[in-house]
Chains A and B, each alone.
Chain A
Amino acid sequence: MGDHSDGTPTTSDAVAKAGHGEVEKFQDPGLPPHRLRLADTDPRAAKRAERQVAILFAISIVGTLVFFFAYFGIRLDSTIGTLRLQNLFLGLGTAFAMLGIGVAIVHWAKTLMPDHEVSEERHVVRTEDDRQVAVKIVDDIIEETGIKRRPLIRNTLIGALALTPFPAIVLFRDLGPLPGNSLRHTMWDKGVRLVRDPTGTPIKATDVTNGSAFHVIPDGLNELTEGKLNEKAKSVVLLMRLNPDELHPSQGREDWAYNGIVAYSKICTHVGCPVALYEQQTHHLLCPCHQSTFDLTQECKVIFGPANRPLPQLPITVDNEGYLVAQSDFHEPVGPSFWERG
């Protein structure tokens, strides 16, 4: 039947008119009459509920037994299968042990415990009487300390308290060294060989065919006994080969590549994930963390995503045995930007 649009108007005027200002309200009819449950009236229903609760508790007991069976009965061997089986039955045992108890108690409460809703008065969070007494007490306390009358004490107290946190802050100074120049240098240097990650074997220029990508670390990194990961986090490099005429080196960088082989820092200039995804046909590098995309043919300029700076290029050449080596360190800091980078 017709139109159910009572109250349809959406502008304030029309709808507000409905109320005509302050209007009388409906009287609270009070709590609805209590309805009896089946188990309240039918002793057989109550007995049935009682049995159901007991069965649920029994299920919990079985669950606990399953847990013991899984713990002691399933022997872990070197295969994944036994571990998966044990994990499954430890978990199912626990799940049934817990759900059995939980569902039983709730079922018990819902069917057999009284379900009369009760109304209780709230009391005021703060009574006026309490407030007056409290104000009096606090005033007395302040008065007794005399802090208002003795500003010298008050001011020195404030000064002393204000200073005390500073030693606690200073204590944390030795959490780490100051940055110094460490972010500006890597292990790369003139003549350092490019070697494969993780095996550490050197790479001949002739090994790098068109379309291939090598994940590279500096020679000697694997032999470091200290700070190996720190150095690796700065010096990992991706090595690729393109047709030399696809590269468009800017002035001063013409000789940084060798026969179309280029090496770029793998650490994203955004927040430092390894930019390791190389698309050999589009010559794009993609960072899997935040999707910054760098174009190899434009000296790894950012063409999409949140990064701002191109990836730093490592100038390379070959040594007299034909192995790829670095010409120098990177010419700029690698990885994410920092305030002092400049």
Chain B
Amino acid sequence: MKALSRKRRHPLAAVALLVMGLMLTGGLYAVVTTVNEAKADTTTYSSEQVNQGEKLFVANCATCHGLGASGSDNGPSLVGVGAAAVDFQVGTGRMPMQMQGPQAEQKPVQFTDSQTSQLAAYVASLGAGPAIPDARYLDGKGDATLGGELFRVNCAMCHNAAAAGGALTRGKFAPALAGVSNQHIYEAMVTGPQNMPVFNDANIPPQNKRDIITFLNTIESQGSPGGAQLGSLGPVSEGLFMWIAGIGIIIVFTIWLTSRTS
């Protein structure tokens, strides 16, 4: 006990605590995200779910999207957007929106998984639309090369070749894709949330969407062979890093080198 309290004052104690804290958060996060992915592939909904979903919708969504999800000045109609759109928007916390802005942003998820699927069930019942994707397209075991090529042609211009995100006009942006679940990536492609174009199954067939997801999983899990990636932002971050860290270190050495020894 005594030893512990002495070590508490060790200069590295804060660092150790921080590391422990980070690992704990990371671990919890990992557990939570796996749970999130584990559900999903049920595409048929019970009428009980639809009813529950309607109640949730009236209470939380109808202010903007209108009763019956027919839309209003503040929000588009949701008839025919499908369960996938709901699962993406609500499952990533983008909906319900906190405030009107250039675009809905990711934030802590407001509903439980079962509530989300109830909402999805309700919206899906209003009109045909993209369903929650089949788990076999989400396994990340497709062709990473073709996926990479499709990603560069269809996605990299907004999301960056290393999926680090990028800017759109007037405050809108394409988010970074690291940490986004495979299901949400698939749903985003098929529904085109906000200003993202729709990549329907005629444009990019499900098999190719699986390839793209495989590519994203690959680059996210393997990291860079060259070391820290500096945000994968390209030459600007590299140049800034050289000016600040590189020239900084060199200046420290030159000052030491030309100072008089005592």
Which residues does A use to contact B, with CB under 8 Å?
35, 37-39, 79-81, 83-84, 87-88, 91, 106, 110-111, 115, 196-198, 203-204, 206-215, 240, 274, 276-282, 284, 286, 288, 291, 293, 304
Q: Please tell me which one of the listed residues B158, B195, B203, B262 contacts residue A196 in the complex, with CB atoms under 8 A apart.
A: B203
Shortest beta-carbon distance from B103 to chain A in Å: 9
Question: B169 within 8 Å of A by Cβ?
Answer: yes
**Interface contact B192-A211, CB-CB below 8 Å:** yes
Contacts of A286 in B (CB 8 A): 168-169
* Contact code string B163-195 (vs A, CB < 8 Å = 1, else 0): 000101100100000000000000000001011
Shortest beta-carbon distance from B45 to chain A in Å: 24
Q: Please tell me which one of the listed residues B203, B226, B256, B260 contacts residue A214 in the complex, with CB atoms under 8 A apart.
A: B203
A80 touching B222 in the complex, CB below 8 Å, given contacts A204-B202, A211-B198, A281-B195: yes
Shortest beta-carbon distance from A107 to chain B in Å: 9
Contacts of A38 in B (CB 8 A): 261-262
A209 touching B225 in the complex, CB below 8 Å, given contacts A198-B150, A279-B172, A288-B166: no
Shortest beta-carbon distance from B204 to chain A in Å: 9
Closest 10 CB pairs of A and B: A207-B202, A213-B197, A276-B157, A279-B195, A212-B198, A83-B225, A80-B222, A211-B198, A280-B197, A110-B261
What are 17 sample pairs from A and B whose C-beta atoms fall under 8 A apart? Answer: A79-B222, A80-B223, A84-B227, A87-B225, A91-B227, A203-B202, A204-B202, A207-B203, A208-B203, A209-B198, A211-B198, A274-B157, A277-B157, A280-B192, A282-B169, A288-B158, A293-B169
**Interface contact B261-A111, CB-CB below 8 Å:** yes
Residues of chain B in range 85-139 having any CB-CB distance to chain A below 8 Å:
none
**Interface contact A282-B195, CB-CB below 8 Å:** yes
Besides A39-B261, A196-B203, 19 new A-B residue pairs in contact (Cβ under 8 A), listed by A number: A35-B260, A79-B222, A84-B223, A87-B227, A197-B153, A207-B202, A208-B202, A208-B203, A211-B197, A211-B198, A212-B198, A213-B198, A214-B203, A215-B154, A274-B157, A277-B158, A279-B172, A280-B196, A284-B169
Which residues does B use to contact A, with CB under 8 Å?
149-150, 153-154, 157-158, 166, 168-169, 172, 192, 194-200, 202-203, 222-227, 256-257, 260-262
In the bound assembly, the distance between CA atoms of A304 and B30 in angstroms comes to 43
**Interface contact B153-A106, CB-CB below 8 Å:** no
Dominant secondary structure at the A interface: mixed
Closest to B218 in A: A80
Shortest beta-carbon distance from B261 to chain A in Å: 5
**Interface contact B192-A212, CB-CB below 8 Å:** yes
In the bound assembly, the distance between CA atoms of A4 and B252 in angstroms comes to 33
Contacts of A274 in B (CB 8 A): 157
**Interface contact A198-B166, CB-CB below 8 Å:** no
